[in-house]
Structure 1
């Protein structure tokens, strides 16, 4: 690792494969235990289980490993919901359950196939028949779920001793391959009644999974007055959602998510914007031929952030995951509707122009 990328406040750096359970156990016992850390925390998906594992060895405050695994393993989460809160779940088939898979078809909306421990919208597919599902490579690593129509939302929550505070709610947009293309906070598509339903469903989910402490990011869909859980994680949401929380509530969500084992709690302040949105740029696969300039102004909103991750002459691949997006912008405004209009005016699918070079 290059020294220049390390933060100034890093006193010691150790390198090991934290995804290897035996290596994590050894590191906790031989390296961490003599130093008596107050906490081991991760705010990234791959680090959640190792952090819980090492915390258990050290006796530091943490979400129990069994709870973390129930939240990360999408099939396990579905089984828990089926037992404890079936009204929040959807029909599903776990890996290798061919009989349950056949019962999912035919479906008016199709069936979602997702890796049981996937993140960043990677590897999610829509399949239309049991035969198509059974033909997938590595089929035994997929969870199959009945597709749920409706508007999608995400909830940032914080729990203390089993009491769940709703920190913020965002409205989510997705593009090809179910990749997330925008997050709007607060949501424009939720009226008061629906928001209460979403918040209550989140609390019921966290109770069912026995999450008692710390942050969580939960994704749900609302259709015809019914709320269904998509997935949940014991960490803050990605895609710059923490920035939206800070802008609209004044809560430093990253600091809270890192410091909660030490007693840091979400303290609402004065947000700098009534509403905010993160929007992600996409482009068809091919060679980049042009990139639009950052707009000087937006109607009814302000442009707080602008990033383009490609250059003219570079290549854009198929949109299979969040990592395939080509940039992002953050807009703020006096209302959610104002931010939504600004995002549409921005034309996030027109920022990067590509040319198909395949003959």
Structure 2
């Protein structure tokens, strides 16, 4: 793995080099679109019908890229005449359409086979089983009854997850084969050995088969595996183990064949052992790009798009030694009160967003969509950041009243 790229030319930085380019971006949200606006060349955004408006002056085309046959026809009719240089996406449901459009047009993009290997979790497990088995937990396809029985006999308990799931939805810890629901014994479910240790997210940028780690965040999760915090740099990972994690991510990316573009990989680390949980050909969500920029100065959203047209990785002075995102949660019920943004004893609140008001329903925390808001914190160091996260997590920002029994 290579050191992160800094300002100015650097032979180690992934880039292709071009001006006067036409970059097509599939499914950008307003934040990604703003980051893209500083890239050289022309930008063309392809948005879903009814998607949030982008800044005025931005060229926007509308198409349902989730309908692949219709989108490929749109690619021929609307995108081909624009003679694009590259087609990319940073949104999960735009990754495959962007890759297929780039392949169809013969322009720069991520290999569709690589995107498929990251979006199909069983396919990724089978690739690692062949190429880097030490990065895999034991696993079984849900419709392979004998393999499922062997997995539980060997491991006792396992994680059940959708093969194509996103947003921490429908992930469950199953304590024994007798507890496996019938609706999980299908090809849509993957069972994996429960991996011990702490979980981390790794942001990387690849160029010509060389993989550069941009940042590593330590993840906090609720009992149901929903992510409730990210801290960067990772407090529990010393420099030696950071290098071990970087090496493991490089092996993973080599195994699946990713040579160019961004990646977001989730790993579990137990001592010196690193197990891959999943990977994606995009940057991480949950404000991780903001943590990268705050702690390293790298404009990660811009870099995760600009690689395809050879734009340099832009890096400014880091604003903080450590930073974190913290997600607000509350017990199920109706929102009774929402506290104002607090002042913290250690660290400070860089950004604050609460998505509920009194009277709103709070559902059980089963996926990322059930979270109630997010804060971005900065601190003078990792210890102060840990303390700030703990302080905010302990505060009842959103309080609820139980639903009355009818």
Which TM bucket (shorter chain)?
over 0.9
1:276 aligns to what? Answer: 323
1:282 and 1:325 in contact (8 A); partners too = yes
Unaligned stretches of 5+ residues in structure 2 = 1-48
DSSP-derived class of the 1:181 partner: strand
Query: 2 CA distance for matches of 1:248 and 1:4?
Result: 29
| CA–CA separation in structure 1 for the residues paired with 2:52 and 2:381 | 41
Partner residue, 1:353: 399
Deviation at 1:94, TM superposition (A): 1.7
> Does residue 159 in structure 1 map to residue 203 in structure 2?
no
2:351 is paired with a residue of what secondary structure? strand
Unpaired runs of at least 5, structure 1: none
1:12 Cα deviation from its structure 2 partner: 3.7
Q: CA deviation at 1:71?
A: 1.1
Match of 1:125 among 143, 160, 172: 172
Q: Describe how 1:68-83 pairs up with structure 2 within 5 A.
A: 68-83=115-130
* Residues 155 and 193, structure 2, Cα contact 8 Å, conserved in 1: no
Aligned with residue 321 of structure 1, among 351, 355, 367 = 367
Which whole-Å deviations, capped at 9, do the CAs of 1:77-121 have from their partners, x for residues lacking one? Answer: 000000000000010002411111111114667211111111110
Of 107, 111, 114 in structure 1, the residue corresponding to residue 158 of structure 2 is 111
| Alpha-carbon distance in structure 2 between the residues aligned to 1:4 and 1:246 | 24
Greater RCO, 1 or 2 (C-alpha within 8 Å, sep 6+): 2
When structure 1 is superposed on structure 2, of 327-336 and 109-118 the one drifting more is 109-118
Q: Is the 8 A contact 1:41 1:258 kept in 2?
A: yes
Runs of 4+ displaced beyond 3 Å: 1-4, 106-109
Q: Is the 8 A contact 2:145 2:185 kept in 1?
A: no
SS at match of 1:90: coil
What TM-score, normalized to structure 1? 0.95
RMSD: 1.7
2:205–2:262 CA contact under 8 A, matched in 1: yes
Kindly state the Cα deviation for residue 150 of structure 1 after the two structures are TM-superposed: 0.6
Please show how residues 1-359 of structure 1 align to structure 2 within 5 Å: 5-15=53-63, 17-106=64-153, 110-136=157-183, 139-295=186-342, 297-347=343-393, 350-359=396-405
Counterpart Cα distance in 2 of 1:5 and 1:160: 32
- 8 Å contact 2:205–2:260 — kept in the other structure? yes
Compute the displacement of 1:139 (Å): 3.1
Q: CA deviation at 1:349?
A: 6.2
